[in-house]
Structure 1
């Protein structure tokens, strides 16, 4: 990519401009990639496009990241760094696991593009952020009284429920974003169609009647919380 022309046609102006440009680094590349993904989605991510945003050529990026697959591994581990994990305490393990699960769900909903890559990314479990958060979550479960092997199973159960639910939510919210509608508008538009579809199914009608006046966001919150409580009840029964 040709260098940008200096405002003043002088070698000294050009060199000053180059010195003021932040140095390209893997951290800077990853941070900009996350911003790009949040703004435009996974389909918009390319080494060439990212290089343009950074004011550098794709070749410069390859000095720090070998290919797009590696970049995806890096951005996934970057967002795992947002997870909150409380300190291990036997008396508050359920509250701690709940906070971890809520933090993971919030992370996925902040970065809806992650719904298509989590669980499909190379050796994601070797990323430093995910290793650190996994170690801390296991400490919470060990403090609760789970044996080492069982703690791994308990953690996997919580993660499977949380990620499965949040990924479905993220896909739904991404669909809404593409449609240009809010959740309330979407629900209103579907009301007549839904009522017609469930006609003659009294249990479905009863459930829909109880929910259709509620805030869709609160319904999602309640659904997630109920399911998580069921998972934690099951784990507690195993102790």
Structure 2
């Protein structure tokens, strides 16, 4: 019986990165092409995302970049969702996890989230691939394991720690996607909807009296860089997480 896509994914995720068959190929002139492997597929896919954004990545585009047909890709990657898992797994593999230290657990969890943010921002829009996906790739699960270890070392109750990981990674994913979308608009000179702070202040000042707080606190509402907001938001989330420790 032919394995289901889920069985194929589960089987391959048990292998070390790069394991699996490769296909030797020859180009039209008889020269050897790069073999099709899972690692080659990931490398090429990340190159497309880095140049043109995640929205440009399709299986057809990927096959063209590898000078092959879609059927050759499906011998190694089950579908686009499987490719998404592989891409996120590769980025997670580049994150350093500290040895959990109860004395600095807050700084450690912020450090992991910041590394994940920076990985996503290198590849515009790629955090979209992490939404609504239950992690099964070992490198992705390694991040969950590391974050859980840090929170538990900090004395956070296990259920609260588990839900905190969901909340923190969701925020990192959404933040990274928003920044990527804004940057892509600016890069494409499609910044008509990217409003400057000065323009926001002008608009807020012109609001009617039914928006008294927005008018009064316009400076505060528009203050700081995007990374300032990231740091403050993470800090507030972690302050909330810290309340879930036995007294």
Alignment TM class, shorter chain as reference: 0.7 to 0.9
The answer to whether 1:64 aligns with 2:80 is no
Out of 106, 111, 130, the position equivalent to 2:140 is 130
Report the counterpart of residue 38 of structure 1 in structure 2: 50
Tell me, yes or no, if the aligned pair for 1:81 and 1:129 is still in contact at 8 Å.
yes
Report the counterpart of residue 5 of structure 2 in structure 1: none
Range with greater deviation from structure 2 (93-102 or 59-68): 59-68
- After TM superposition, give the deviation of residue 169 of structure 1 in Å: 2.9
The answer to whether 1:224 aligns with 2:230 is yes
- After TM superposition, give the deviation of residue 66 of structure 1 in Å: 2.6
Deviations 1:150-208 (A, max 9, x none): 3212322322333333333333333333435599x841783586246535444323433
- After TM superposition, give the deviation of residue 51 of structure 1 in Å: 2.1
- After TM superposition, give the deviation of residue 141 of structure 1 in Å: 1.2
- After TM superposition, give the deviation of residue 210 of structure 1 in Å: 5.5
Report the counterpart of residue 23 of structure 1 in structure 2: 35
- SS for the counterpart of 1:126 is coil
Tell me, yes or no, if the aligned pair for 2:89 and 2:139 is still in contact at 8 Å.
yes
- Specify whether residues 196 and 151 from structure 1 end up closer, same or farther in structure 2 by C-alpha distance, changes over 3 A only: closer
Larger Rg: 1
Tell me, yes or no, if the aligned pair for 2:44 and 2:66 is still in contact at 8 Å.
yes
CA distance in 2, matches of 1:237, 1:188: 35
Figure out how many residues of one structure are paired with residues of the other and give that number: 220
- SS for the counterpart of 1:80 is helix
Report the counterpart of residue 112 of structure 1 in structure 2: 124
Range with greater deviation from structure 2 (83-92 or 160-169): 160-169
Range with greater deviation from structure 2 (127-136 or 147-156): 147-156
Q: Which runs of 5+ in 2 are unaligned?
A: 1-24
CA distance in 2, matches of 1:208, 1:192: 6
Tell me, yes or no, if the aligned pair for 1:93 and 1:140 is still in contact at 8 Å.
yes
- SS for the counterpart of 2:88 is helix
- Specify whether residues 80 and 182 from structure 1 end up closer, same or farther in structure 2 by C-alpha distance, changes over 3 A only: farther
CA distance in 2, matches of 1:188, 1:156: 32
The TM-score, its normalising length taken from structure 2, stands at 0.75
Report the counterpart of residue 103 of structure 1 in structure 2: 115
CA distance in 2, matches of 1:165, 1:43: 17
The TM-score, its normalising length taken from structure 1, stands at 0.77
Q: By percentage of residues, which structure has more helix?
A: 1
- Specify whether residues 41 and 165 from structure 1 end up closer, same or farther in structure 2 by C-alpha distance, changes over 3 A only: closer
- After TM superposition, give the deviation of residue 137 of structure 1 in Å: 1.1
- SS for the counterpart of 1:36 is helix
CA distance in 2, matches of 1:81, 1:72: 14
